[in-house]
């Protein structure tokens, strides 16, 4: 018999606890209660402990698990270790990635904790061994996007189409590449975040994926070395390309990268998904096939920065300061020179 789901399951806004918290949700208070406003503020702080994208992912995970349990006449809350092991195995059989399966388990544990229940994974070898078996069978290596190297970047810029759209797209690619920026950071970029100076532009990012406490960080865009007469189709200077776009579009405040209509009018700011689509379109125009395009995305700009900077002698620390990575291990995942490095090492054998 299925249990009725408690309020925590049907109220996504209460799904996520503060980091490290295993306590039950705060009690509901009436408006006349002296602590009513304080409780509302506390709930807001609880929600702010996780990024909105993380909350959405966890909430979607829980809905999926609940629906799966209902379809198999199993209880979702509390769930038994056997039910969870079966669910994880079903996800693996349906081709879900190891990272996705692991996150689903995390979501299940979080909902149980928020309901005042013991985490179903705690001291449960059945779940731990099932997940370990999935990891060993499917492997844990994540698919990574190919980096956009300098030559491909130049081809994409040369084939940019349109007037305003081409100006925006060139600036978008060059800023994303030179800044080693994520698509979410490009979408959130505002004029107020730009400081222009004689050496280029300093971008202040108020928040980013790995900066959940919003301390902010700075990214530098240096002036390029091309002469002033360089045509726009060959211009690789991110500063001049950005200046050209903002002048053409008369952008003086608000979002930097915006929609351009077919009538060549300027709309609102781009969202992260649109930026990914623009990158793909420009690479397609540069001559990549549909099969090749599957290996590229907006993250290819960030990976391209790390790879090209490393190839040209930049230290891992210098790259980390630009990209905001917290460890050398993380930045190494972006530097796609492994094959060249292995060939260089093997060539020293004298065979």
What's the CATH code of the domain at 99?
1.10.150.130
**Dist CA 211 CA 219 (whole Å):** 14
At 194 the three-state DSSP class reads strand
Among the listed residues 50, 310, 334, 336, the single catalytic one is 334
> What is the full per-residue pLDDT of the chain (351 aa) written as tens digits?
333 333 334 334 444 444 334 444 556 677 788 888 888 888 777 766 666 667 788 889 999 999 999 999 999 999 999 999 999 999 999 988 888 999 999 999 999 988 888 888 888 899 999 999 998 888 755 566 788 888 999 999 988 877 899 999 999 999 999 998 889 899 999 999 999 999 999 999 887 665 555 577 888 899 888 888 888 778 889 999 999 999 999 999 999 999 998 888 899 999 988 999 999 999 999 999 999 888 888 888 888 888 888 888 888 788 888 887 777 776 776 665 555 555 554 545 445
Residue 108 lies in a domain: yes
The catalytic position among 182, 183, 240, 336 is 182
Q: Catalytic site residue 45?
A: no
Assess whether 302 carries a catalytic annotation.
Answer: yes
- E strand segments, 224-344: 258-260, 266-269
Neighbours of 97 (CB within 10 A): 15
DSSP reduced 3-state for 106 = helix
Kindly state whether residues 169 and 99 are assigned to the same domain.
no
Examine the domain organization and report whether 75 and 191 are in the same domain: no
Closest by Cα among 283, 278, 259 to 269: 259
- Coil, strand or helix: which one is 197? strand
Is the distance from CB of 343 to CB of 349 less than 8 angstroms?
no
Instruction: Examine residue 143 and state whether it is found in any structural domain, yes or no.
Output: no
Q: What total of structural domains would you count in the chain?
A: 2
> Is residue 197 annotated as part of the catalytic site, yes or no?
no
| Same domain, yes or no: 329 and 214 | yes
* Per-residue tokens: 240: 């001049």
> First CA to last CA across the chain, in angstroms?
70
* Catalytic option among 209, 247, 273, 326: 209
Beta strands in 238-339, from DSSP E residues, in sequence order? 258-260, 266-269
Residue 182 and residue 257 in one domain: yes
Which structural domain, as residue segments, surrounds residue 93?
Answer: 7-138
Is 348 annotated as catalytic?
Answer: no
Within 13 Å of residue 39, how many CA atoms lie on the same side as its CB? 13
209 is a catalytic site residue: yes
Q: Tell me, yes or no, if 296 is annotated catalytic.
A: no
Residue in 145, 168, 299, 336 annotated catalytic: 299
Do residue 188 and residue 51 come from a single domain?
no
- Listing DSSP states for 123-144 in one string gives T-HHHHHHHHHHHHHH--PPP-
Q: Which of 58, 302, 310, 336 is catalytic?
A: 302
Its sign, for the CA torsion 102, 298, 215, 325, is positive
Please report, for the domain that includes residue 188, its CATH number.
1.10.443.10
């Amino acid at each position: 018999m299925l249990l009725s789901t408690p309020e925590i399951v049907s109220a996504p806004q209460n799904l996520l606890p503060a980091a490290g918290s295993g306590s039950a949700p705060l009690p509901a208070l009436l408006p006349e209660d002296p602590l009513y406003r304080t409780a509302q503020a506390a709930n807001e702080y609880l929600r702010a402990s996780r990024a909105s994208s993380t909350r959405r992912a966890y909430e979607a995970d829980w809905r999926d698990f609940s629906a799966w349990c209902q379809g198999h006449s199993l209880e979702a809350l509390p769930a038994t270790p056997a039910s969870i092991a079966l669910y994880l195995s079903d996800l693996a059989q349906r081709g879900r990635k190891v990272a996705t399966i692991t996150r689903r388990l995390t979501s299940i544990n979080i909902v149980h904790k928020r309901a005042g229940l013991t985490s179903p994974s705690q001291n449960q070898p059945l779940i731990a061994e099932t997940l370990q078996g999935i990891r060993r069978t499917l492997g844990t290596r994540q698919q990574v996007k190919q980096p956009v190297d300098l030559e491909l970047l130049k081809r994409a810029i040369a084939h940019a189409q349109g007037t305003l759209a081409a100006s925006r797209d060139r600036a978008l690619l060059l800023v994303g590449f030179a800044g080693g920026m994520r698509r979410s950071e490009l979408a959130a970029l505002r004029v107020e975040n730009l400081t222009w100076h004689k050496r280029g532009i300093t971008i202040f990012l108020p928040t980013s994926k790995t900066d959940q406490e919003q301390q902010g960080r700075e990214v530098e865009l240096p002036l390029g070395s091309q002469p002033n007469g360089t045509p726009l189709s060959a211009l690789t200077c991110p500063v001049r390309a950005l200046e050209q776009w903002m002048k053409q579009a008369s952008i003086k405040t608000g979002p930097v990268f915006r929609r351009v209509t077919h009538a060549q009018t300027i709309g609102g700011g781009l969202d992260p998904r649109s930026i990914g689509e623009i990158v793909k379109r420009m690479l397609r125009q540069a001559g990549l096939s549909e099969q090749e395009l599957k290996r590229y995305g907006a993250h290819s700009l960030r990976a391209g920065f790390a790879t090209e900077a490393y190839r040209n002698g930049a230290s891992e620390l210098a790259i980390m300061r630009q990209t905001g990575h917290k460890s050398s291990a993380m930045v190494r995942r972006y530097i796609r020179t492994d094959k060249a490095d292995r060939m260089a090492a093997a060539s020293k054998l004298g065979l």
